Structure 1
Amino acid sequence: MSELIAERYRLVEALGEGGMGRVWQARDELLDRDVALKELVLPRGLPQAEIRDLRERAIREARAIARIDHPNVVRIHDVIHDGGSPWIVMELVVGRSLFEAVRDDGAMAPERVAVIGLDMLSALRAAHRAGVLHRDVKPANVLIGDDGRVVLTDFGLAATTGDSGMTSTGIVLG
């Protein structure tokens, strides 16, 4: 039997890992739907003050995403706490990253590249209108859904208007 998070989300499989997080496909047993759960993964041996800062960073990421309502930006559903750490509950985009698509299939047709570029421009404009600066746009953070939808993800380094920032010496991000 797979692990149950916050007595509601059953982990199905790990989808990816990087920086300070791991993303899981999970089943929301209350609403009977699949979602993506972003788990905060803390390096061992961190002082409590840095752990608190990283947990706050996860909440700030969720707040940044929640400020944006756009079809090319991953949708956030909730933030839950389990095991003392926040988990971000997001829509599950079934597909693969732009990085994986290029790695596996090679160069894309110019027309497809143009569509992806315009979708990312639209996503970034929406983010900027909401006062959010992504700061980590790269092929691994662009998802291409099996339905063709292009989605910007991973706002973990995002800065928002009015945010004092969370940059700390000695912490490697991204």
Structure 2
Amino acid sequence: MGWAHVSTHELVAGRYRLLEVVHEETNRVCWSGEDTGTGRPCLVTRIALPAEQAGDSARRATGRVVRTCETVERLCPGRIVPVVDATFADGALWTVTDWVGGVPLGDLLDRQGTFNYVRAARIGLELLAVLDAAHGEGITHGELSPGQVFVREDGSVAVTGFGLAGATLAPRLTAPSYASPEQARDERIGPAADLWTLGAILYTMVEGRPPFRDRGRPE
């Protein structure tokens, strides 16, 4: 993933400074960052796009990402990481969110190992509440994974990534091990895809590994 090593000396959109990588997944890298306009910390995410999608459709996607996140945030205040900016640059879609102040669930599992069933259930129920609220408005996350779930020090969770699925024409699987069968087959997805992923995340929390370890490739 050579594209992950973006120069930290250049500002994204002429404003956001990249500091250090927080989390990496296929086609997706998150950095801790700084908004040079305000001096506030932020989370900057680069979503790689196929070359054929690096055009008008990707630019239009920026507005969709912001609007979708605003909608879900109103439904689930405090559980959605607000997107404050989205831009298209260097053949990629960049999103900027408020600083989360938590650790990606996948990284937390790597550090601490498996969770007991009480902790896993608590996180699962919080995620289910967010998904249920979004689904009630006809919004599917579509790219949920442990890298999109941040766990704060108090144990609460905050979800990122709403609005990315379907924002471009090309299918992108950021975490194949957590993708539903219809996602892997590049078929139309809906709430069932998110619930499949939630089940896979619950399994990972208590077993310490994804339910499908050999799913590094969609096929």
1:127 aligned partner:
134
**Normalising by structure 1, what TM-score?**
0.75
Question: Which secondary structure does the structure 1 equivalent of 2:45 belong to?
Answer: strand
1:1-150 equivalences in 2 (<5 Å): 2-43=9-50, 46-47=51-52, 50-52=53-55, 53-69=57-73, 70=76, 71-83=78-90, 86-150=93-157
Q: 1:3 to 1:146 in 2, by over 3 A?
A: farther
Distance in 1 between residues matched to 2:43 and 2:66, nearest whole Å: 13
1:72 offset after TM fit, Å? 1.5
Amino acid at match of 1:87: W
1:99-133 Cα offsets, whole Å, 9 max, x none, are: 22223222212221122112111211222234311
Distance in 1 between residues matched to 2:92 and 2:143, nearest whole Å: 23
Higher strand share: 1
Q: 1:135 to 1:7 in 2, by over 3 A?
A: closer
Amino acid at match of 1:60: R
Distance in 2 between residues matched to 1:104 and 1:98, nearest whole Å: 10
1:45-79 Cα offsets, whole Å, 9 max, x none, are: x23xx222444445433332222122212211122
Amino acid at match of 1:77: V
Higher helix share: 2
Gaps spanning 5+ residues in structure 2: where? 1-7, 175-219
Backbone CA RMSD of aligned residues: 2.7
The farther-off stretch of 68-77 and 2-11 is 2-11
The answer on whether the counterparts of 1:40 and 1:55 sit within 8 Å (CA) in structure 2 is no
Question: Which secondary structure does the structure 1 equivalent of 2:68 belong to?
Answer: helix
1:26 offset after TM fit, Å? 1.0
Q: Percent identity?
A: 30
Spell out structure 1 runs of 4+ moving beyond 6 A: none
Question: Which secondary structure does the structure 1 equivalent of 2:134 belong to?
Answer: helix
Kindly tell me the number of residue pairs found equivalent between the two proteins: 163
Distance in 1 between residues matched to 2:112 and 2:88, nearest whole Å: 38
Amino acid at match of 1:66: E
The answer on whether the counterparts of 2:23 and 2:31 sit within 8 Å (CA) in structure 1 is yes
Gaps spanning 5+ residues in structure 1: where? 160-164
1:85 offset after TM fit, Å? 5.3
